[in-house]
Structure 1
Amino acid sequence: MSAVIDTAVVALTKKVQTFNGVAKFVVKGEGAIMIDETGVRAGDEDADVTLTASAEVFQAILEGDMNPTTAFMTGRLSVDGSMGLAMKLASALG
Protein backbone atom coordinates (compact mmCIF):
# COMPACT_ATOMS: atom_id res chain seq x y z
CA MET A 1 0.00 0.00 0.00
CA SER A 2 0.97 3.61 -0.38
CA ALA A 3 2.30 5.97 2.27
CA VAL A 4 -1.01 7.86 2.07
CA ILE A 5 -2.92 4.70 3.02
CA ASP A 6 -0.48 3.80 5.79
CA THR A 7 -0.73 7.29 7.30
CA ALA A 8 -4.53 7.27 6.97
CA VAL A 9 -4.83 3.92 8.76
CA VAL A 10 -2.97 5.38 11.75
CA ALA A 11 -5.08 8.57 11.75
CA LEU A 12 -8.38 6.70 11.38
CA THR A 13 -7.46 4.27 14.15
CA LYS A 14 -7.16 7.25 16.51
CA LYS A 15 -10.49 8.75 15.37
CA VAL A 16 -12.69 5.66 15.03
CA GLN A 17 -12.72 3.70 18.27
CA THR A 18 -15.63 1.40 17.42
CA PHE A 19 -17.68 0.91 14.29
CA ASN A 20 -20.64 -1.41 13.91
CA GLY A 21 -20.67 -2.28 10.21
CA VAL A 22 -18.19 -2.54 7.36
CA ALA A 23 -17.00 0.60 5.59
CA LYS A 24 -14.42 1.14 2.89
CA PHE A 25 -12.61 4.36 2.01
CA VAL A 26 -11.27 4.34 -1.54
CA VAL A 27 -8.57 6.94 -2.04
CA LYS A 28 -8.22 7.43 -5.79
CA GLY A 29 -4.81 6.40 -7.07
CA GLU A 30 -3.65 5.23 -3.62
CA GLY A 31 -5.70 2.24 -2.46
CA ALA A 32 -8.42 1.43 0.06
CA ILE A 33 -8.96 1.30 3.80
CA MET A 34 -11.38 -0.99 5.61
CA ILE A 35 -13.14 -0.05 8.86
CA ASP A 36 -15.16 -2.61 10.82
CA GLU A 37 -15.73 -3.92 14.33
CA THR A 38 -12.16 -5.26 14.43
CA GLY A 39 -10.59 -1.89 13.64
CA VAL A 40 -8.97 -0.06 10.74
CA ARG A 41 -6.69 -1.67 8.17
CA ALA A 42 -5.50 -1.34 4.60
CA GLY A 43 -7.59 -3.58 2.34
CA ASP A 44 -10.09 -3.76 -0.46
CA GLU A 45 -12.98 -6.04 0.48
CA ASP A 46 -16.75 -5.96 0.18
CA ALA A 47 -18.35 -3.35 2.44
CA ASP A 48 -21.77 -2.10 3.51
CA VAL A 49 -20.75 1.41 2.43
CA THR A 50 -17.95 2.62 0.18
CA LEU A 51 -16.74 6.22 0.30
CA THR A 52 -14.55 7.44 -2.55
CA ALA A 53 -12.49 10.63 -2.72
CA SER A 54 -9.22 12.03 -4.00
CA ALA A 55 -6.19 11.93 -1.72
CA GLU A 56 -6.48 15.68 -1.16
CA VAL A 57 -10.12 15.54 -0.09
CA PHE A 58 -9.53 12.49 2.08
CA GLN A 59 -6.60 14.20 3.81
CA ALA A 60 -8.65 17.37 4.39
CA ILE A 61 -11.42 15.28 6.00
CA LEU A 62 -8.93 13.46 8.25
CA GLU A 63 -7.30 16.72 9.33
CA GLY A 64 -10.66 18.32 10.10
CA ASP A 65 -10.28 20.93 7.36
CA MET A 66 -13.28 19.58 5.43
CA ASN A 67 -16.58 18.30 6.76
CA PRO A 68 -17.46 14.88 5.25
CA THR A 69 -21.08 15.94 4.71
CA THR A 70 -19.96 19.09 2.88
CA ALA A 71 -17.57 17.00 0.77
CA PHE A 72 -20.48 14.72 -0.19
CA MET A 73 -22.89 17.57 -0.91
CA THR A 74 -20.34 19.29 -3.18
CA GLY A 75 -19.52 16.11 -5.08
CA ARG A 76 -16.01 15.72 -3.71
CA LEU A 77 -16.90 12.53 -1.80
CA SER A 78 -19.07 9.81 -3.29
CA VAL A 79 -21.00 7.29 -1.22
CA ASP A 80 -22.16 3.91 -2.46
CA GLY A 81 -24.23 1.74 -0.13
CA SER A 82 -25.67 2.42 3.31
CA MET A 83 -26.13 6.15 3.80
CA GLY A 84 -26.84 5.49 7.49
CA LEU A 85 -23.42 3.93 8.00
CA ALA A 86 -21.82 6.75 6.03
CA MET A 87 -23.43 9.25 8.41
CA LYS A 88 -22.21 7.30 11.45
CA LEU A 89 -18.70 7.30 10.04
CA ALA A 90 -18.90 11.04 9.30
CA SER A 91 -19.88 11.63 12.94
CA ALA A 92 -16.92 9.55 14.12
CA LEU A 93 -14.57 11.62 11.98
CA GLY A 94 -16.16 14.73 13.49
Structure 2
Amino acid sequence: MSDVITAAVAALSEKMSGADFDGSAKFVIEGEGSVVVDASGARASDEEADVTLTADADTFQDMMAGNLNPTSAFMSGKLSVDGDMSKAMALGSVLG
Protein backbone atom coordinates (compact mmCIF):
# COMPACT_ATOMS: atom_id res chain seq x y z
CA MET A 1 0.00 0.00 0.00
CA SER A 2 1.36 3.43 -0.91
CA ASP A 3 2.16 6.09 1.66
CA VAL A 4 -0.53 8.29 0.09
CA ILE A 5 -3.20 5.63 0.65
CA THR A 6 -2.00 4.98 4.20
CA ALA A 7 -2.21 8.72 4.95
CA ALA A 8 -5.63 8.93 3.27
CA VAL A 9 -7.02 6.12 5.42
CA ALA A 10 -5.74 7.86 8.55
CA ALA A 11 -7.11 11.28 7.53
CA LEU A 12 -10.51 9.90 6.54
CA SER A 13 -10.76 7.80 9.71
CA GLU A 14 -10.19 10.94 11.76
CA LYS A 15 -12.67 13.05 9.79
CA MET A 16 -15.35 10.35 9.73
CA SER A 17 -15.06 9.56 13.46
CA GLY A 18 -18.47 10.29 14.96
CA ALA A 19 -19.82 11.62 11.66
CA ASP A 20 -23.40 10.92 10.69
CA PHE A 21 -22.82 9.47 7.21
CA ASP A 22 -25.03 6.61 6.09
CA GLY A 23 -23.87 4.91 2.95
CA SER A 24 -20.51 4.31 1.36
CA ALA A 25 -18.07 6.36 -0.64
CA LYS A 26 -14.94 5.43 -2.55
CA PHE A 27 -12.10 7.89 -3.02
CA VAL A 28 -9.98 7.07 -6.05
CA ILE A 29 -6.61 8.79 -5.77
CA GLU A 30 -5.19 8.76 -9.27
CA GLY A 31 -2.00 6.75 -9.57
CA GLU A 32 -2.17 5.60 -5.93
CA GLY A 33 -5.27 3.48 -5.23
CA SER A 34 -8.65 3.68 -3.52
CA VAL A 35 -10.07 4.22 -0.06
CA VAL A 36 -13.62 3.28 0.95
CA VAL A 37 -15.49 4.91 3.84
CA ASP A 38 -18.72 3.64 5.35
CA ALA A 39 -20.28 2.98 8.76
CA SER A 40 -17.39 0.68 9.69
CA GLY A 41 -14.74 3.34 8.99
CA ALA A 42 -12.10 3.95 6.32
CA ARG A 43 -9.97 1.30 4.66
CA ALA A 44 -7.86 0.76 1.57
CA SER A 45 -10.22 -1.01 -0.82
CA ASP A 46 -11.54 -0.97 -4.37
CA GLU A 47 -15.00 -2.33 -3.55
CA GLU A 48 -18.21 -0.85 -4.95
CA ALA A 49 -19.69 2.16 -3.15
CA ASP A 50 -22.74 4.44 -3.39
CA VAL A 51 -20.58 7.25 -4.76
CA THR A 52 -17.07 7.38 -6.22
CA LEU A 53 -14.96 10.53 -5.96
CA THR A 54 -11.84 10.76 -8.11
CA ALA A 55 -9.01 13.27 -7.75
CA ASP A 56 -5.24 13.46 -7.97
CA ALA A 57 -3.15 13.11 -4.81
CA ASP A 58 -2.54 16.86 -4.42
CA THR A 59 -6.25 17.69 -4.63
CA PHE A 60 -7.13 14.97 -2.16
CA GLN A 61 -4.44 16.10 0.29
CA ASP A 62 -5.65 19.71 0.03
CA MET A 63 -9.21 18.59 0.82
CA MET A 64 -8.07 16.53 3.83
CA ALA A 65 -5.98 19.44 5.15
CA GLY A 66 -8.95 21.80 4.86
CA ASN A 67 -7.23 23.93 2.23
CA LEU A 68 -9.74 23.03 -0.50
CA ASN A 69 -13.49 22.71 -0.09
CA PRO A 70 -14.79 19.52 -1.79
CA THR A 71 -17.58 21.47 -3.51
CA SER A 72 -15.05 23.96 -4.90
CA ALA A 73 -12.86 21.08 -6.08
CA PHE A 74 -15.85 19.57 -7.90
CA MET A 75 -16.92 22.88 -9.45
CA SER A 76 -13.37 23.58 -10.68
CA GLY A 77 -13.04 20.11 -12.24
CA LYS A 78 -10.37 18.89 -9.82
CA LEU A 79 -12.76 16.32 -8.32
CA SER A 80 -15.09 14.09 -10.31
CA VAL A 81 -18.14 12.42 -8.81
CA ASP A 82 -19.83 9.28 -10.11
CA GLY A 83 -22.90 7.81 -8.43
CA ASP A 84 -25.27 9.11 -5.76
CA MET A 85 -24.82 12.90 -5.70
CA SER A 86 -26.77 13.21 -2.42
CA LYS A 87 -24.20 10.95 -0.72
CA ALA A 88 -21.43 13.11 -2.17
CA MET A 89 -23.07 16.25 -0.77
CA ALA A 90 -23.50 14.64 2.67
CA LEU A 91 -19.86 13.56 2.61
CA GLY A 92 -18.80 17.04 1.53
CA SER A 93 -20.43 18.53 4.63
CA VAL A 94 -18.55 16.04 6.82
CA LEU A 95 -15.22 16.76 5.13
CA GLY A 96 -15.81 20.45 4.42
Q: How many residues align?
A: 94
What is the correspondence of 1:1-94 to structure 2 with a 5 Å cutoff?
A: 1-17=1-17, 18=19, 19-94=21-96
Q: Secondary structure at the match of 1:9?
A: helix
Cα deviations by residue, 1:34-77 (Å, 9 ceiling, x for unpaired): 00111110000011100000000000000000000000001000
Q: TM-score, structure 1 length as denominator?
A: 0.97
Letter matched to residue 57 of structure 1: T
**Where in structure 1 do 4 or more consecutive aligned residues deviate above 6 Å?**
none
Instruction: Please give the root-mean-square deviation of Cα atoms over the aligned residues, in Å.
Output: 0.7
Unmatched 5+ residue regions in structure 2? none
Unpaired segments of 5 or more residues in structure 1? none
For the residues of structure 1 that align with 2:9 and 2:82, how far apart are their CA atoms? Answer: 21
Normalising by structure 2, we get a TM-score of 0.95
Percentage identity across aligned positions?
57
Q: Once the two structures are superposed, what CA deviation does each residue of 1:5-61 show, in whole Å capped at 9, x if it has no partner? A: 001111111111242101000000000000011111000001110000000000000
